[in-house]
């Protein structure tokens, strides 16, 4: 794909209600849709559509195709694996880079070149690709072709990744992360034995995918949206959760069942 800045510029994009930073495999795609459904429960059919294709890829033993079915929610900015420019092969180095990025997000400047690679990824996946996962090759291709030459456009669309009234960090237990990353992509992924809750200094900004199965989901969603959820909305979120759970690989469901 080629990013056409003129094409983007000629469209009007509304700011996102929230921006979700997370590590791939943490359940961020599903969690972002659960937040979205609190605002627009009528989008439940749109939210469920990707899960049908994902479930089929799992049953066919082709989990590597998982991400091709992603459709991001319209009002929630999603930013996975942007806490480092390139993921190191060492868990301590990953933690160090993630910690440094979080400090930049919370306490750094919002200069256009601040976390530029994270900015570029955010613009690409949320305003052009509409999917949360992209390969390093795709990002490098965009970068090398200078297709993001309009610095101010990038800044305008990505400043919200620093907005303290919008940003959220989704954490995941190491066991869940290992089961998801190992079964959906490759068992060769570096084991991460820490959580974002360990390194984000402002705990009010941190939520956990474990809330989806430990009985605290609605409370957490109400904290995020600032609005009590109606019975009807809770039912919609529950319907989505059930579909998401049933679309997961065996290892992920086994982890949830035994958590």
* Tens digit of each residue's pLDDT (9 = 90 or more) over 39-54: 999 999 999 998 887 6
Q: Tokens 């599903």 sit at which residue?
A: 30
Mean pLDDT, rounded, for 101-118: 86
Residue 21: which pLDDT band, with cuts at 50, 70 and 90? very high
How confident is the model at residue 142, as a pLDDT?
A: 62
How confident is the model at residue 222, as a pLDDT?
A: 98
* Tens digit of each residue's pLDDT (9 = 90 or more) over 155-199: 888 999 999 999 999 999 999 999 888 776 554 567 889 999 999
> How many domains would you assign to the chain?
1
Q: Does 17 have pLDDT greater than 50?
A: yes
CB 78 within 8 A of CB 126: yes
Q: Which residues form the domain of 196?
A: 5-258
How confident is the model at residue 146, as a pLDDT?
A: 47
- Contact partners, residue 204, CB within 8 Å, separation at least 6: none
Q: Does 227 have pLDDT greater than 50?
A: yes
Q: Burial letters for 22-45: b for 16+ Cβ neighbours within 10 Å, e otherwise? A: bbbbbbbbbbbbbbbbbbebebbe
Closest CA to 243 of 80, 69, 24, 16: 69
Closest CA to 132 of 73, 72, 199: 72
Packed helices 231-247 and 217-225: angle between N→C axes, nearest 10 degrees: 120
Closest CA to 47 of 19, 20, 74: 74
Lowest-pLDDT range of 11-20, 57-66, 133-142, 230-239 = 57-66
Mean pLDDT, rounded, for 215-219: 98
> How many Cα atoms sit within 13 Å of 158 on the Cβ side?
29
Residue 79: which pLDDT band, with cuts at 50, 70 and 90? very high
How confident is the model at residue 64, as a pLDDT?
A: 55
How confident is the model at residue 1, as a pLDDT?
A: 36
Lowest-pLDDT range of 24-28, 80-84, 90-94, 179-183 = 179-183
How confident is the model at residue 92, as a pLDDT?
A: 86
Instruction: Residue 154: count other Cβ atoms within 10 Å of its Cβ.
Output: 21
- The span from the first CA to the last CA of the chain, in angstroms, equals 40
| In the chain, % of residues over pLDDT 70 | 80
How confident is the model at residue 169, as a pLDDT?
A: 98
Residues 171 and 249: their CA atoms lie apart, in Å, by: 20
Q: In what order do the strands lie in the sheet with 206-208?
A: 76-80, 18-22, 167-171, 206-208
Report the mean per-residue pLDDT for the chain: 85
How confident is the model at residue 185, as a pLDDT?
A: 57
């Amino acid at each position: 794909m080629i990013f056409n800045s003129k094409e983007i510029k000629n469209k009007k994009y509304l700011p996102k209600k929230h921006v979700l930073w997370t590590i791939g495999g943490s359940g961020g795609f599903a969690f972002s849709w659960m937040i979205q459904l609190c605002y627009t429960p009528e989008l439940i059919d749109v939210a469920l559509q990707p899960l049908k294709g994902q479930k089929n890829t799992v049953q066919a033993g082709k989990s590597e195709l998982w991400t091709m079915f992603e459709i991001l929610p319209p009002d929630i900015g999603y930013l996975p694996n942007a806490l480092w420019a390139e993921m190191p092969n060492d868990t301590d180095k990953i933690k160090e880079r993630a910690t440094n990025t979080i400090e930049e997000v919370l306490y750094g400047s919002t200069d256009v070149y601040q976390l530029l690679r994270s900015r570029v990824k955010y613009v690409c996946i949320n305003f052009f690709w509409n999917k949360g996962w992209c390969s390093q090759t795709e990002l490098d291709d965009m970068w090398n072709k200078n297709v993001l030459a309009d610095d101010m456009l990038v800044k305008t669309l990505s400043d919200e990744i620093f907005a303290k009234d919008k940003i959220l960090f989704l954490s995941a237990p190491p066991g869940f992360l290992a089961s998801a990353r190992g079964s959906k992509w490759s068992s060769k992924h570096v084991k991460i034995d820490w959580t974002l809750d360990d390194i984000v200094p402002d705990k009010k900004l941190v939520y956990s995918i474990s809330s989806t199965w430990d009985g605290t989901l609605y409370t957490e969603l109400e904290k995020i949206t600032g609005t009590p959820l109606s019975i009807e909305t809770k039912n919609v979120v529950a319907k989505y959760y059930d579909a998401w759970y049933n679309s997961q690989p065996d290892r992920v469901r086994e982890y949830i069942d035994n958590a």
